[in-house]
Chains A and B, each alone.
Chain A
Amino acid sequence: MAARLPSTDVVLLGAGLVGTILGRELTRAGLNVVALERGEPRSTVPDFQGPAMHDELRYSVRKALMMDTAKETYTFRNSGGETALPLRRLQGFLPGSGVGGSMVHWNGQTYRFHEADLRMRTKIDERYGKDFLPAEYTIQDWGVGYADLEPHYDRFEYLLGIAGKAGNLLGKKIPGGNVLEEQRAREYPTRPQKEPYGSAMFRKAAEGLGYHPFPQPSANMSEPYTNPEGLTLKTCMFCGYCERYGCEHYAKSSPQTVLLPVLLKDPKFKLRTHCQVQKINLDKSGRNATGVTYVDAQGRELEQPAKLVIVGLYALNNVRMLLLSKIGAPYDPATGKGVVGKNYAYQTMSAVQVFYDEKVNINPFMRSGANGTLIADFVADNFDHSKLGFAGGAYIGEIMTHGRPIEFHPTPPGTPAWGSEWKKAVVRHYNHTASLNVHGSSIASRRNYLDLDPTYRDAWGQPLLRMTFDFPENDVKMSAYVTERATEIAKAMGGQRVAGAPRKGPYTTTQYQTTHNTGGAIMGNDRLTSAVNRYLQSWDVPNVFVIGASAYPQNASYNPTGTVGALAYWAADALVNKYLKSPGPLVT
């Protein structure tokens, strides 16, 4: 039997981006909050300091900041007909663990989604007709529009101090910013990052082709910035150790730099680390959560009663927590019925490389996590899809983040994988290669979903989450089209040779693509087709809120974190201003 702890107002599952924002907003509203984190405590000093932090083997290759797959992992298969097997090591995507979550090791690329993303079903039907896409693609509206989220995007960007340049200020187009963005109420809090060499060559080539390049919005600081919490971030040094690393310079926005120093001083906030939540407990009605059961580092099973449960784990783990707790009907791909696990989506990535003459020093190691230049001309519905036969899009950018040589040693196609010829090619091309990223959307398909694995279990004896995924034909077509546009820009960048390939199936877990796993606990306006309502509140258990990229009905062209932050503030606003006044379903 689990020992029962004193009750609290709120229990937070996970102390990452969502947990710390909700922790701050709910303690500010006067509630007592307990945060349960599976990993270790981490702070900028001493945990992220140089030179030890600049260790490619430890952090990039051995993945020191990530989830420990000896204890828990996911199982994977490309299609429902295969037997899913455990990901015995993390390679294809990298959920973090520990205080700060994945936001410790992120790059800081911070975007807003488009109205065409948030109302994808409606917008496609309106512009291209109801028969434009096959029925296989289960895309849905989110239940919120851009106007709902704008104030919350704004708040999140000012919490983080995002470096950027507005291109659409209240409808006024500003050249040099992203003129294709949805309108924003005010300028970014800090000026854009400095533009590296490869990015500058990309900008000129893209402009020459009639596109609209703009500086990448960045959570790596271009200048010192004090956020509304009174916390000060410092200037990014372009050290080239950003993604997969914590920032030693206080220059990357993360819970450690933008919220935790304030939150940890608040007596209403209690953080417990090395706590593995097993399930959310429900009362006999099944309509009310009574708290959670977790196992601490000593192996003791403890029950934490709470009036309100906020699930803010990594997107995949949010879905697993609902399934383990039997909250919401599990999705059944055979009938299309059920909601938990439905519309798992990812991101459709490809790259194009430009190989230069030896006189051109690209200096790939002088980079930050988000310091490039890109175009949004092929993002979302910014271009006419009527003759293209696919929905969605991608941004194209020279957004290189590092030159760490175990991971980065480009060679032209046709180079052998080892031997003297390989070595000579690496030496020849290392400092003379620029790379363009094509960062694309991921459509929802009825065949891609999440459920509990029937065979494999974690170290606590609980079933692992099973992922069934392959690239839908829509996204293969999208990648082919946009990668071709990227190749045209690459050819105009003055290199000697260009090489790239669009994304094709099957999706493989052995090659890192991105950690943008989305969906499975999606939001919407209909309880029959979504797991949470437009306020991220469980339809079935109204005192459970499930917040994160798990709520995305399909994934957009841009990186997802900006929208996770906006949804966290959107949900916090609904909790404080609606739910606390009258606890119960916010949508009936």
Chain B
Amino acid sequence: MSKGNAPQPPDPARRRFFQAAGAAALPAALPLSSHAQGAKPAARAYLFFNPAEAAFIEAALARLIPKDETGPGALEAGVPEYIDRQLAGAWGAGERLYRSGPWHPGTPSQGYQLPFTPAELFRTAIRKINETNAGFAKLAAQGQDAYLDSLQKGNVDLGGVPSKVFFESLLEASVEGFFGDPAYGGNRDMAAWRMVGFPGAYADFYELVDRHGVAFNAPPTSLAQDARGNVHLLHHQRKT
């Protein structure tokens, strides 16, 4: 079917499904950056990362999921904020992680076997990276890619964290932040969903599933959205 044969927008009654329930779970309004109205991009408000860590994370994310002709990248989509909040919260503290010893490296089949929580793992690894490669954020794109590649493929010891483990954790978190619900701070404006055509928290395709090949062009919906489709969260950051 052609792109012109789009389904009708969702029935307003269905919108009841999408009232903003996720909002209450989020931290109260973050302080506005003093740069918010200035010419320079606003500094991001971080709960976990210190400035040196943030510099590495922002530079790395810009290479892992770059802004390009397909649309915004991880930086524009708020992925640094997503990772920051995850590390500051229950996930960072090792929620659902079995943490009793003894610890052994194990085999690849046995999965993650380090004593670090995610917060400890990121802090430890980035500290080492910033000690040994302080200029990473200022490198040209090619140099940054080569360094990230060496973390991914090499077995550099980052203060006890094998670089491959750190790299995989960072990449996993980046994909989560990019494609997860905007209520968590990433995927700002549902940009990643718009890019691939994922409708988000939309709940009913009964009438469409057997219209084979239909082009679904209705805008996506988020947990953080009100009945009129406005995303209220993080609006101050959207001015950047």
Contacts and interface: CB of A to CB of B under 8 A. Distances in A.
B196 A426 contact: yes
Contacts of B98: 69-70, 73, 86-89
Given A418-B64, A418-B65, A91 B195 contact: no
Contacts of A195: 210
Nearest to B64: A418
A527 to B, nearest CB: 34
Interface string B145-188: 10010001000000000000000000100111001110110000
A51 B221 contact: yes
B192 A51 contact: no
A427 B65 CA distance: 12
A214 to B, nearest CB: 17
Contacts of B109: 76-78, 506-510
A21 B111 CA distance: 36
Contacts of A587: none
Contacts of B64: 418-419
Given A89-B96, A508-B108, A427 B205 contact: no
Contacts of B145: 419
B46 interface: no
Contacts of A78: 107, 109
A237 B196 CA distance: 22
B29 to A, nearest CB: 21
B63 interface: yes
Interface string B124-163: 0000000000000000000001001000100000000000
A4 interface: no
B96 A55 contact: no
Interface string B200-240: 11111110111011111000010100000000000000000
A423 B208 contact: no
B78 to A, nearest CB: 14
**B113, B203, B208 pick with most chain A CB within 10 angstroms:** B203
Given A197-B212, A237-B203, A510-B108, A88 B97 contact: yes
Contacts of A62: 91, 95-96
B73 A417 contact: no
Interface stretch (A276-284, A401-409, A578-586): A401-409
A344 to B, nearest CB: 15
Contacts of B181: 55-57
A52 B176 contact: no
Contacts of B202: 54, 239, 365
A61 B176 contact: yes
A85 B106 contact: yes
A239 B203 CA distance: 5
B201 A88 contact: no
Contacts of A211: none
A427 B196 contact: yes
Nearest to A459: B100
B193 interface: yes
Contacts of A418: 63-65, 148, 171, 174
Contact of B102 (A70, A241, A455): A455
A366 interface: yes
A76 B110 contact: yes
Contacts of A462: none
Interface of A: 50-52, 54-57, 61-63, 68-70, 73, 76-78, 82-83, 85-92, 194-197, 200, 235-241, 248-249, 360-361, 363, 365-367, 371, 403-406, 409, 417-420, 422-424, 426-427, 430-431, 455-457, 506-510
Interface of B: 1, 17-19, 21-22, 63-66, 68, 70-71, 73, 91, 94-100, 102, 104, 106-113, 145, 148, 152, 171, 174-176, 179-181, 183-184, 192-193, 195-206, 208-210, 212-216, 221, 223
9 contacts: A50-B18, A57-B176, A69-B98, A76-B110, A196-B212, A240-B205, A409-B196, A427-B70, A508-B111
Given A52-B22, A405-B179, 14 more contacts: A50-B203, A54-B202, A56-B181, A90-B96, A91-B111, A197-B213, A238-B206, A239-B205, A363-B214, A406-B179, A409-B196, A417-B152, A417-B171, A509-B109
